[in-house]
Structure 1
Amino acid sequence: MTSDSQKPILFVGALTEDSIFRVSGFSSGSGKFIAERATRNAAGMASSAATAAARIGGKATLWASVGDDASGKELIKDLQSEGVDCGLVRTVIGGKSARAIIIVDETGERWIVVDYDPVTQSSPEGLPTNDFSQFKAVMCDVRWPGAAALALDAARDAGAMAILDADVAPRDVLLDLAKRATHLIASEPGASLLCDRKSSPENAVTALNDRYGVVVCVTAGGDGTYWCPAQGGPVRHVAGPKVEVVDTLAAGDIFHGAIAQALCEGQPMEDAIRFASSAAALKCTVFGGRLGAPGRAETIKLMEETYHG
């Protein structure tokens, strides 16, 4: 029997083939551009989060969906090389694996165009396993909502943490998934969609905690993270480390993977946010999306320098 401390985290959601190009001056207007750098790798919100958890010493299992094409096989192989267990990844006969084209400019900002095949991303008929007690936590993104709903419910029923990465998605999807979570970790735009209005991070935390009665975090990029515990109370703020930004792609995903791992290790929420913020900041110093996910030692080093120095 697996001890509680050895249980993996189940990550549920996107698995895409990302083609990433670094292009200076892209935001200046239309034209033809020559990439200064380029790379291609397996990514997606849940997949990048799983990579982050694995690199910092956790056990990560992925439930995602790919087509029965050459790309699907390569995506699985790529993540397996990171130590991510892909045994639950679904292969859809006749489906196409998801792909994304991403432009990163000289400031580190990014533009993302994603092509999801509705056949491949169709809702699953059921859970990939009947034993959710094997997972310490479930972390779901919003890109495969049918699977996320099943997994969040199963996690709560099994007494595991049910963590939602509430990023930009149709509002009805966000509302359905948010009510199933024990931990709601939202981007600033995602939180505004849930609140149905443009809200400051502080106001969004309060509103969402009042509505759902769970732990709520709202990440605000360079402005850090705002949060409150399930029982409510004053909104708390954790500033992010200061780094030289090269590429913000997948920074939020790295944050989600790192905070899930930290919580599974029993770190208090404030320390878990500091740990995840350090991992996300280090990612921003490296070009290539999830390829910049840091290891444990460097994450702890930046955390200590930033918050305990």
Structure 2
Amino acid sequence: MSLPPRIVFAGAATVDLIFKVEALPPGPGKVLPTALAQVAHGMATSAATAAARLGGRCALITRIGDDMMGDRFLAEVGAEGVDCRQVRRFEGVATPLSAVIVDQRGERLIVPYYDPALGSETDWIDAKAIAAADAVQVDIRWPEGAARVLDIAKAAGKIALLDADVGPTQTIVDLARRATHVVFSEPAALAVSGCETIVEAVRALTKSFDAFIAVTGGEQGCFWAEGDRVFQRRAPEVEAVDTLAAGDVFHGAFTLALAEGQLIADAVCFANTAAAISCTVFGGRLGAPGRAAVEELMAQTTTPVIAA
């Protein structure tokens, strides 16, 4: 049997303290949480661990501090089966940390901190490992690293996917021009395109970039363009308790599915299902499912592809 695809993820790494509360605080004061989880997170990190749970051979390129939080991060991500040999540690620098408050509806408030001393250098990134991978996925939180990884992968003829979440518009545009595939969050797609609806944004972004374009819309599922047509596939209905990292799980699953050679519609269904399942568990990426759970729910639900 052939080996599973090898995917390199590059971008954000944090340790998150996730507090579950009845409702998001309306203003200053004290709110008592009903649950707490401490999790190694970050867009690229969560996508990598999600893809690893689904059977991918995954490696992570990111930056953390040489501190106790960094020790925890490496232990936790390594235990998920992710290759952390290209996680660079900086002496005297704090590992990025986020405080996350999640309410009973799954909505959240996130307060992240990235130490400026992490720097932006990329000369330490192993170009050979990137070129040898079947696919790469980057986020926008470390633009310099994302640009280098996308450029190397694209030059090697590999899948080079950008997770385009909310951020500086020019950063998103620059990275999207380097990618073979771009999956936008709805807010980022509307901001970059200047459009008012997802369908309009998909059409506009497809004209703007020489790449496959898709947009995730939460419960609406995923929209994408094939030729002149825009298609939509909804996510299966679940009882969501925590939407944190659902988008990251989608991206990890989608990149894995593409690397496996799945058709776009099938890859979207696979990623939608993985992301939906993750929302049923408190703790962000801790809810990312294994392959069997995704395939079981896919077999039980029908989410047709519709022309948007």
- Which band: TM-score by shorter chain? over 0.9
Question: 2:130, 2:88 → 1: CA distance?
Answer: 17
- Match of 1:84? 82
* Matching of residues 16-31 of structure 1 within 5 Å: 16-31=14-29
Question: 2:79, 2:29 → 1: CA distance?
Answer: 38
The number of residue pairs the alignment matches comes to: 304
- Match of 1:179? 177
1:202-250 deviations in Å (ceiling 9; x for gaps): 1111111111132111001111111013xx2110010111000100000
Corresponding letter in the other structure for 1:70: M
Is 1:264 the counterpart of 2:262 in the alignment? no
The share of aligned pairs that are identical, in percent, is 45
Say which of 227, 245, 250 aligns to 2:245.
250
Question: 2:274, 2:69 → 1: CA distance?
Answer: 28
* Matching of residues 90-101 of structure 1 within 5 Å: 90-101=88-99
Answer 1 or 2: which has greater strand percent: 2
Question: 1:193, 1:125 → 2: CA distance?
Answer: 32
Unaligned runs of 5+ in 2: none
Say which of 205, 208, 229 aligns to 2:205.
208
Unaligned runs of 5+ in 1: none
Q: From the superposition, tell whether residues 191 and 60 of structure 1 become closer, same or farther in structure 2 (CA, over 3 Å).
A: same
Is 1:137 the counterpart of 2:127 in the alignment? no
Contact 1:184 1:216 in 2 (8 A): yes
- Match of 2:287? 292
1:244-281 deviations in Å (ceiling 9; x for gaps): 01000000000000001111111100000000000000
Question: 1:131, 1:20 → 2: CA distance?
Answer: 33
Contact 2:269 2:303 in 1 (8 A): no
1:74-116 deviations in Å (ceiling 9; x for gaps): 1011100000100111112222210000000010111111000
Q: State the Cα distance separating 1:28 from its structure 2 match.
A: 4.2
Q: State the Cα distance separating 1:72 from its structure 2 match.
A: 1.1
* Matching of residues 273-292 of structure 1 within 5 Å: 273-292=268-287
- Match of 1:43? 41
* Matching of residues 30-179 of structure 1 within 5 Å: 30-179=28-177
Say which of 219, 223, 235 aligns to 2:220.
223
1:3-25 deviations in Å (ceiling 9; x for gaps): 98544100000110000000112
Say which of 289, 298, 301 aligns to 1:306.
301
**TM-score under structure 2 normalisation?**
0.95
* Matching of residues 1-16 of structure 1 within 5 Å: 5-16=3-14
- The range that moved more, 90-99 or 269-278, is 90-99
1:118-145 deviations in Å (ceiling 9; x for gaps): 1214232353233433200000011111
The runs of at least 4 consecutive aligned structure 1 residues that moved more than 3 Å come to: 3-7, 27-30
